[in-house]
Structure formats: structure tokens, C-alpha cells
Structure 1
Amino acid sequence: MLHNLKRRRLLSRQETVLVFITALWGATFLIVHTAVQYSGPWFFVGNRFIVAGLISALLFARVLAGLTLKEVVAGVSIGVMIFLGYGLQTVGLQSINSSTSAFITALYVPIVPLLQWVVFRKRPGLLTWIGVGLAFIGLILLADPGSVGFSFGAGEIATIISTLPMAAEIILIGWFAGKVHLGRVTVVQLLVAGILGFLMMPVVGEEVPAFSWVWVAASVALGIASCLIQLAMNWAQKTVSPTRATIIYAGEPVWAAIIGRVAGDRLPPIAILGALFIIAGALISELKPRKRGVEQADEFANQPAGSVEER
């Protein structure tokens, strides 16, 4: 019994990987915020994910010939959500600092159970609603704490909207995990996100930026990071549920705030309070009352699915 209790307290290998990529994810906010001072947002998104897609294509070149229609559908669906989520977040980072962006982005955590309600008819519990309420209060305090009325700038609005496709991405990854080949789906979703980023440029009238080593280096660095992040998410969420994964992802803005503060971001005290409300709301929204027998069910649910043949 003591051995089992000890096992339950430790993170699984998959959860440990998610913690690592969450810290890596948090570091990307400051890099993007810097890069979009030298490049338009959609060009940067296109560049970032094309680089990530090409790297993943090299890694999984041997298995790409086995690409199935189901994997194309999965990859395109997730890729569209990546394009929308990261694209709008990048637009927002043109005018708001990396710490603010990261904490607003954390709103996708309480949105996940709400989307599951809409899509899968899984009604959220009381704690979810409390979490959503806390996150909303935190948003008001964080985004514009000194204004009269609740007005948001364009950067905040774009970032708020970006949380919807980000939440959908988490749900889609969980839905397809264990049913498709990890490598092939990762290649498709990253290339789709990159291509859509470039296609968005003429739609919004964005031009190719002047050459700068800043956006070149940032694109390559984030391309590598994006490849690692998406591979890790696709792999880990075979055995980690979307709700449990989002609890881990809730640490992302904390890492971003730490890195942003080192770089000079300074949030006023009331905005820091708002950030704490958002994190509290994200965590509370994912808490579930434990019932007798849940421990055994959790252990069974966390066993590897074994339905995907890794090559």
C-alpha cells in the first residue's frame, strides 16, 4: 500500500516530459515578443512552423510513406488549431509584453472542460465554474486594471480569442492520441500550421520583412522548440488525459513570467494579483472530487494504450 501511495505521488514519465516542455513553452513568449518587432506576425508563424515541420519530416522520413487518410485528417485538424492559436497569440505579442500574454493564454485551461461540454456533452462540475469565474476576474485585473470600464486593447483581445483554438488543440490531440502514428501526424500538423501562416499574409496585407538575424534565429530556435513540444504532447497524451495535461500546462505562464521578469517585464501589483487569479482558476477548474475506487481506475486508465505501432 505504501509503495502504491508513493507511486501515485510521483509524476509519470509522460507527465515529467510535459512539465519540461511546459517550461520550454513558457520561454517562447519572450522570444516571439522580440521577433515580431522585426517581422510581421503571420510571416513569423509561417516561418516558425515550416522549420518545425521540415525538422520533423527529416526525423520521420522513413515512415511518411505510410501516411493514412485518418492521419491527414488528424494532422490538418490539429494544424488549423495551432495556426489560429499561435497566430493570434503572436499578433497580440506585438503590443503586449510576454508575461501578460502568457497569463491571458492560461485561460485556455478552464476553457477545455467547457469545450468538452459542448462537443462531448460532459457537463462541467461546480469547481469548473468556480475556476472560470476566478479566471475571468483575473483577466480583468491583469489586462487593464486601471481603466474605467472593462476595455481591452487589440493585443489583449487577439490573445483572448487565441485561447479557444488552443483549448481545441488539446482536446483534438487527446481525441486522436493512440489512434494515429505520432510522427506522421506531427509532420502534417506542423506543415499545415506553417503553410496557413504564409497564406494569411496577403489576406491581412502583411509583407515579407526585411532580412534580420533576429527573426531568422528566432524562427529556427522556435522551430526546433515547436517540433519538440508537439512531439512531446502527441506522445504524452496517449496516456495523460486532456484535463490532467492542462493542469501541467497551467504552469506555462509562471515560467514565462519568471523569464520575462529577468528580461525586464514588470507587472504592477494588481496585475500580479490578476495573474494569480487566472492560475488559481486554471487549477481549480481541473480538480475532481475523488471517490472510492478512483485510484484503481486511474491506474488502469494511465496504462499505455498500445494501439499505435511505433516504428
Structure 2
Amino acid sequence: MVWGATYLIIHLAMRTSGPLFFVGIRFLAAGLLMALVFRRCLAGLTRREMGAGAAIGVAIFLGYELQTYGLQTIPSSQSAFITALFVPMVPLLQWLVLRRPPHAMGWLGILFAFVGLWLLAGPQAGAFSLSPGEIATLAGTGAIAAEIILISRFAPTVDTRRVTVVQLLAAGALSLLLMPLAGEPVPAFSWVWFCSALGLGLASAVIQWTMNWAQKSVSPTRATVIYAGEPVWGGVIGRLAGERLPALALLGAALIVAGVIVSGLRPTFSRRRGFRAAAERPRG
């Protein structure tokens, strides 16, 4: 619910700030808050935790910077549904990077999600084209999928409190350091970007630590179903703020949510087949 509410806030904040500056302030605020909360355990920071936090921080920077850039030109509800594609993207990345092909329901979820994207994208729903803002958001979605894989890879073997601090500070610092290269100026002071950045910094801190902590004990299937609520809340809040999506775009949004849920499910018969194969396997 909190994650879904952030899209509209960023969309409004982009009227007074550039994306790199906003993302930098947002995640530095989140990192400093987490450093204050977990200050007693930071002395035990290891080289592995530094590396894990830095890698996750780069993925966070790419994901949120591209998403924030896209929110300059596309509605918050549309951004929320495109970003939800990170869930069916995860099995694709696992296949490409870890050589673990998606299961049948994973492929079905991917199909639903990308048909939904086709209906949702373009200046008019159903047009087979992507605007620059949609392309940036879609690319950021791939980075968020990479973040999920990295968290799953490192979470069982590191202290999630220390890694959370490192990843948030790394994402914020990288964003601010790249401002001169991108030619983005420091914006004039505005209470809009200031309050939005601090508020989203608090939200980011809570979200990132919760993800790192929860993925130790919550199954991928349950997590996927929970994550499917993010774009729904983003769409609801955007609708309350006056945003309107065409009927075909709404159908595409529904297909994306269906793809998110389906990709995390496994049929009962496939689980039974796996149990039967395990039972029949020779022992000793």
C-alpha cells in the first residue's frame, strides 16, 4: 500500500525537481535514517555486506532513477502498472543469468503481463508503441527485477540491517554524483520536493528493510501475490487524484496484475508430481 502511494507523490514532485537530485535526496535521507536506527550493529559491517549492499544499491538507483524520469511524462497509475512487470521479469532474468528456466505458470504469467503492457502502452491504449517515459519505466522495471534477485541471493547470508543501510546510501550517493555528468542542476528550494523527498525517504527505508527481512521467511509465491497489490493501490490513488485510463488500458492493467499473480503460482498436480518423483528416487 505504501509503495503504491509513492507514484503520485513522485509525479507531483517532478514539477519542482530533476530526477537525479530527487532520487539522491530520497535515498540519502532513507540511508541516514536507517544508519541512525541500526547504528549499534554497523561496527560489524563485513566486506561481503559492503559488496552486497553496493550491488543492490546500483540496482535500486537504476530502477528508481528511470522510474522517476518516466514519471515526468506519464501518469502515476500507468507507471505503477508498468513497474509491476518486475515480478514476471524475475523468472526471465533467472533464466538468462542463473540458467533456471521458468515453470509453466511462470511462462503464462509472462505472456499475460506483456500482452497487458501492449494494451497499456502508447499514446493511445492498444497502440504498439512506447513513449520515452514508458521506455524508461520499463527499463527501470528490469533493474528492480535484478534488485529482487540480488536480495534473494544475499539475504540468507548477510545482516540485512547493515546491507539495507549500505544499499540506500549507495543509491543516493550515486544519483547525486551523476548530476554533473547528466547536466542536471540543483533545483531551487521548494517545499514540494523537500517534503516529498523526506517522506519518501522514510517510506523507502521501511520498504527496503522490510523486503530484506521478509524475504528470509516469506515464500516467493506469497511475496508475489502481496507485491501484486502495489500497482492496484497505485491505480486507485491515481484515480482518486483525477487520472483517467482508457478502457483498453484498464484491461491491460488487469492482465498485468493477473500475470503477476499467475507467475507466482504452481499447479497442485505439478507439486504432487515432484513429491512422487522424490519418493520414487533411489536412496542410499
* TM-score normalised by the chain length of structure 1: 0.84
Matching residue within 84, 91, 102 for 1:113: 91
1:27 and 1:165 map into 2 onto residues whose CA distance is 20
Q: Which runs of 4+ in 1 moved over 6 A?
A: none
Deviates more, 1:221-230 or 1:116-125: 116-125
Q: Which amino acid aligns with 2:184?
A: E
Matching residue within 124, 135, 140 for 2:102: 124
Shift of 1:120: 2.3
| 2:256 aligned residue | 278
| 1:31 aligned residue | 9
Deviation string 1:156-188 (CA, Å, 9 cap, x unpaired) is 000010111100111111111121112111100
Say which SS state the counterpart of residue 178 (structure 1) adopts: helix
Shift of 1:148: 8.6
2:67 and 2:153 map into 1 onto residues whose CA distance is 24
Which structure 2 residues correspond to residues 1-311 of structure 1 after superposition, within 5 A? Answer: 23-144=1-122, 146=124, 150-290=128-268, 291-292=271-272
1:276 and 1:233 map into 2 onto residues whose CA distance is 25
1:172 and 1:147 map into 2 onto residues whose CA distance is 34
Q: Which amino acid aligns with 1:239?
A: S
Q: Which amino acid aligns with 2:87?
A: V
1:213 and 1:246 map into 2 onto residues whose CA distance is 36
Question: In structure 2, do the counterparts of structure 1 residues 188 and 273 end up closer, same or farther at CA, with 3 Å as the change threshold?
Answer: same
2:266 and 2:123 map into 1 onto residues whose CA distance is 31
Shift of 1:114: 1.1
Question: In structure 2, do the counterparts of structure 1 residues 277 and 148 end up closer, same or farther at CA, with 3 Å as the change threshold?
Answer: closer
Question: In structure 2, do the counterparts of structure 1 residues 116 and 263 end up closer, same or farther at CA, with 3 Å as the change threshold?
Answer: same
Say which SS state the counterpart of residue 203 (structure 1) adopts: helix
Say which SS state the counterpart of residue 239 (structure 2) adopts: helix
1:79 and 1:279 map into 2 onto residues whose CA distance is 27
Q: Which amino acid aligns with 1:272?
A: L
Question: In structure 2, do the counterparts of structure 1 residues 192 and 150 end up closer, same or farther at CA, with 3 Å as the change threshold?
Answer: same
Deviation string 1:75-115 (CA, Å, 9 cap, x unpaired) is 00110100000110000000001000000001111011111
Whether the 8 Å contact between 1:112 and 1:243 is mirrored in structure 2 is no
Whether the 8 Å contact between 1:92 and 1:159 is mirrored in structure 2 is yes
Question: In structure 2, do the counterparts of structure 1 residues 148 and 173 end up closer, same or farther at CA, with 3 Å as the change threshold?
Answer: closer
1:182 and 1:36 map into 2 onto residues whose CA distance is 31
Q: Which amino acid aligns with 2:117?
A: L
Where structure 2 has 5 or more consecutive residues not aligned to the other structure, the ranges are 276-284
Question: In structure 2, do the counterparts of structure 1 residues 224 and 148 end up closer, same or farther at CA, with 3 Å as the change threshold?
Answer: closer
Whether the 8 Å contact between 2:125 and 2:249 is mirrored in structure 1 is no
Deviates more, 1:83-92 or 1:262-271: 262-271
Q: Which amino acid aligns with 1:285?
A: S
Question: In structure 2, do the counterparts of structure 1 residues 294 and 218 end up closer, same or farther at CA, with 3 Å as the change threshold?
Answer: farther
Q: Which amino acid aligns with 1:154?
A: P
Deviation string 1:135-170 (CA, Å, 9 cap, x unpaired) is 111111111273796221110000010111100111
Say which SS state the counterpart of residue 266 (structure 2) adopts: coil
1:140 and 1:39 map into 2 onto residues whose CA distance is 30
Whether the 8 Å contact between 1:113 and 1:243 is mirrored in structure 2 is no
Give the length in aligned residue pairs.
273
Q: Which amino acid aligns with 1:43?
A: F
